[in-house]
A and B are shown apart, each in its own frame.
Chain A
C-alpha cells in the first residue's frame, strides 16, 4: 500500500513541474541523520525530498540500542513525551564474561530516572517512522519504497540529483544528502571511497524477544518505565573484537552480539552460532527464559573511526551519519552523532542556499562544523583505538578471563589467609600476562585514547 501512495506522490510532484522533479534538497535515507536534515530544512521552508528504500522509515534500520537525549532534544524539545520510546535507562552495566562467570561493573542512578533523562531504549522501526513523520509534517516530501540507484551528475561532475528505481524516477536537487547508511552505495558509486574494509566494520546480529513488562521489571530490577543497558565483553565474542548487549524495551528485550567483520573472516566464527551460544550462557539464559522471538536482525556498523571516514562533501553532495562513518564504537554511540551530522548538514545547506552556491567549497562548512563538534572531537581523540584493538585482541580474549580468575581467588573462602589469596589472585594474572605486558597494555590504551585532559 505504501508503494502506491508514494508512487502517486512522486508522479504528482513530477507533473507539477512539467516532467522534471525538482527539489532544493534530496535526502537519501530516512534514518536519524537524513530525517534530521530533512526536518530542519523543511522547517526553514526548503523543498525537500526524503527518499527511503523501505516501505516506511525504520523498516530497514536497527541498532542495539539506546537513543541519547542529546542532541535530538534541540531539534524536537521534550521528544520523549511524544516519541515512541521504550524505557528510560537508569542502569548501565558492563559484564566481563568467561564461559561461566562475570566481573560486573556498572552505574545505576536515580538521577537518570528524572528529567533531564540521559538515554532511552527505542526500537527503530517505530522510532524512525515517528521521526520521519515529524519531517513530513514540517513539509518534507517522504518518498518511501524507493531506492536511490545513483547520483545524477552534470558535465562537470557536479551532483545535481538522484536516479531512483521508479519509472521516470529522476529527482533533481541543488544538494543531495547521502544519508544512506553504512553501505552507502551512493557515495561509493560516486567514487568518494572504495569498498568498506573488513577491519573497519562490525557485524551486529540481534533478536527482539518478548518477555512481558512484569518479567522485565523483576529480572532487571526495574520500576515503571525504567530501563537497563548491559554490555557484555569477553567470552561472548570468542576473543574477537566486539561485544554483546542486552537492552530492556517496554515488553521486549533486544539481545545481540557485535564483532569485527575481519575477525569473523579470520576466525571462521558464525554470527548465527555466536548469538545462540550467547543466549545460552549460564548468566544470560535466566534473563531470557520463557521469552518469545519477535524478530531477527543483522546490520553492519562502521567502526573504523576517524581514519575510516570518506570525504564528507563534493560538489552538490554531503555525506552524513553512518554513511560518513560517524560512530564512536568505544562508547556505543552512533545515532546521536548521526542526528548531529544531519543538523550540521542542514545548517550548511541553508548557508549555501543564501549564497546560491552549492559547490564543494561552499559546502565545506559542514566539515568545519563537524570538526568543531563533539562528534569529530571524540572520534579524533579515539582515532588510534580501532587499530589498537585490532592489534591487541588480548583486551577481549585474555583480560576478562584474568579478572574473573583473580576475583574467584580473592572471593572464595577456602581456609587460606587473605595474604595468600591476594598472592593467588596476582599470580593468576601474571601467569597469563607478565607485569611488563600488563604495563604495556595499559600504556597502549592510554595512548590510544587521547581523551585525557
Chain B
C-alpha cells in the first residue's frame, strides 16, 4: 500500500522550518554509553536518536516533532531539551 511510508518520507511531507542550531543537547555522552535500555532509540516518533559505533548516541534535531518523549524517558535526565527558536521547528498545516 502506498500509505506505508518510511519515516524519512513522512518527515519530507511534513513542513519544517529548520533552526540553524539544535534545540536538543545530550549533556554527557559518556552517560549514554553506560545507559541501560536507551529508550530514546526506540521511543522517538521520528527515530531521531541513533546509536554510534563508539556506544554514544547522536541526536538529530532537524526532524524533531518537539513532543518531549525522549526527555521524559531519559533515565539519566541527560537531555537538555528546549523549544526551537520562535517560529522554527515543525509547522503543522493540518494539526
Interface residues of A (CB under 8 A from B): 2-3, 53-55, 58-62, 123-128, 144-147, 164-166, 182-183, 185, 195-198, 201, 203, 205, 207-209, 252, 261-262, 264-265, 268-272, 276, 279-280, 285, 288-300
What residues of chain A lie closer than 8 Å to B85, measured between beta carbons? 147, 165
> Which among B68, B71, B73, B95 is the interface contact of A297 at CB below 8 angstroms?
B95
What residues of chain B lie closer than 8 Å to A128, measured between beta carbons? 95
B94 touches A205 (CB 8 A): no
A264 touches B67 (CB 8 A): no
Per-position binary interface string of chain B over residues 40-84, scored 1 when its CB falls under 8 Å from any chain A CB and 0 otherwise = 001111110000000000000000011111011100010000111
What are 13 A-B pairs with beta-carbon distances under 8 A? A54-B89, A59-B92, A126-B95, A146-B86, A196-B68, A197-B72, A252-B94, A264-B39, A265-B37, A270-B42, A288-B1, A293-B10, A294-B93
Of all chain B residues, which has the CB nearest A123? B94
Q: Count of B residues near A, CB < 8 Å? A: 43
Q: Is B18 an interface residue, CB under 8 A from the partner?
A: no
Closest chain B CB from A411 CB (angstroms):
29
What residues of chain B lie closer than 8 Å to A198, measured between beta carbons? 72-73
> Which among B2, B15, B65, B83 is the interface contact of A298 at CB below 8 angstroms?
B65
What residues of chain B lie closer than 8 Å to A183, measured between beta carbons? 68, 71
Known A195-B71, A198-B72; judge A203-B86 contact (CB<8 A): no
Interface residues of B (CB under 8 A from A): 1-5, 7, 9-11, 13-15, 17, 37, 39, 42-47, 65-69, 71-73, 77, 82-87, 89-95
What residues of chain A lie closer than 8 Å to B9, measured between beta carbons? 293
A54 touches B43 (CB 8 A): no
What residues of chain A lie closer than 8 Å to B1, measured between beta carbons? 279-280, 285, 288-289
Of all chain B residues, which has the CB nearest A301? B67
> Which among A58, A144, A292 is the interface contact of B92 at CB below 8 angstroms?
A58
What residues of chain B lie closer than 8 Å to A291, measured between beta carbons? 3
Known: A265-B39, A276-B4. 6 other contacts (CB 8 A): A3-B87, A54-B87, A123-B94, A128-B95, A270-B43, A290-B2
B73 touches A147 (CB 8 A): no
Known A198-B72, A203-B69, A205-B45; judge A272-B86 contact (CB<8 A): no
A125 touches B95 (CB 8 A): yes
> Which among B67, B72, B82, B91 is the interface contact of A55 at CB below 8 angstroms?
B91
